[in-house]
Amino acid sequence: MSSYYLDLFSAMGINILLALSVYSPLATGQLSIGNAGFMAIGAYVSAMLTVHLHLPLFPSLIAGGVFAGVVGVLVGFPALRIKGIFLAMVTLAFGEIVRNFFLNFLTSLTGGAYGFRGIGNRPVSLFWIWGCVAFFLILFFFLSRSRLGLTMMATHDDDTVSELIGINVVHLKVGSFGLGALIAGIAGGLYAHYYLYLEPEFFNVWQSIHMVLYVIMGGMLTFWGPVLGASIFTLLPESLRFLQDWRGAFFGAFIIGLMIARPSGLLTREILRLDFWLPGRRGNLG
């Protein structure tokens, strides 16, 4: 594979993980636009472990993910009291706190604004990235078919009633927030050891908003939605290079058109259900 396609598919894998990291809390009704913060934590923690402590890649990636996940749980508890647009603002502020932390603190270890160089000893390959993607896809697949997945959807729709049918909404929301943070952290670790360079500016609000866009475009009611959204967002801008200066504008118009045509995102649960496609089946039930 040429290095162009190698880079493209690596970026796609990392973007899928980032989309899943937003999907996880969103599946229980929590919108986070601060996941670049969790990604930064995973990236910096894992890079510090491999560069300064000379740890192998695998435990460093896991440590970065777990560290981000623990921070996610700590943020998730106070976030329980906040809903909707207010939660979005809190997570946005959190992401900025993390970015500023790595800009101004630990600079002797991470280079601060000059960037974190020399992560070259243990680079990740396409195999590592897609191995992680496969792992989390399998996880979400089983989750979506489990009782836990069903309770997540119920909590997404109405958390008061969910509590009143016996669901421990606190555990569920904090857990899904923490899982999202963990996935973002692992994606960050992979990013750090693929591109071998980090700077705080990369983990800004735009990065977080991109992750949310993947999910909204792809569809947020099934985990295949974020996968599709992240894939399209990675591949489409590349395939539009022939438009030259018009590329950005066309892509923006594409997003607007998509939201008008499919306001719930590209994939919905009805489309994924097999009996949707069987002729006459829907008519019988209607």
Partner 1 sequence: MSGEPILMLYSVHKSFGGVEAVRDLTLSICAGHIYGLIGPNGAGKTTVFNLITGVYPCDLGSIRMADKELTQLKPHQIVRLGLARTFQTIRLFANLTTWEHVRVGQSQSTRPGGRGIFSLDRAHKKRLKEEAHRILDLLGLWEVRFRKASTLPYGIQRKVEIARALGMGPKLLLLDEPAAGLNIQETEDLLKTLGKIYELGITLLIIEHDMRVIMGLCRHIFVLNFGQKIAEGTPDQIRVNEQVIEAYLGKEE
Q: Which stretch binds partner 1 (CB under 8 A): 90-98, 109-117, 124-132, 159-167?
A: 159-167
- CA dist 25 and 85 (Å) reads 14
State the number of binding residues for partner 1 (CB under 8 A): 27
Binding flag, residue 129, partner 1 (CB under 8 A): no
| Residues contacting residue 80 through CB under 8 Å, at least 6 positions apart | 170, 173, 174
Q: Which stretch binds partner 1 (CB under 8 A): 17-25, 140-148, 208-216, 248-256?
A: 140-148
CA atoms within 13 A on the CB side of 213: 17
Residues shown for the chain: 286
Binding flag, residue 1, partner 1 (CB under 8 A): no
Binds partner 1 (CB under 8 A): choice among 30, 151, 176, 234: 151
- Beta carbon of residue 84, minimum distance to partner 1 (angstroms, whole number): 15
Select 157 or 201, whichever has its Cβ closest to partner 1: 157
Q: Which stretch binds partner 1 (CB under 8 A): 128-136, 158-166, 195-203, 255-263?
A: 158-166
Binds partner 1 (CB under 8 A): choice among 122, 210, 262, 269: 269
Binding flag, residue 173, partner 1 (CB under 8 A): no
- Beta carbon of residue 147, minimum distance to partner 1 (angstroms, whole number): 4
Supply 146's token pair.
Answer: 């489990």
| Window 77-106: residues binding partner 1 (CB under 8 A) | none
Which residues of the chain form contacts with partner 1 (CB under 8 A)?
A: 142, 146-148, 150-151, 153-154, 156-158, 160-161, 163-169, 221, 269-270, 273, 275, 285-286
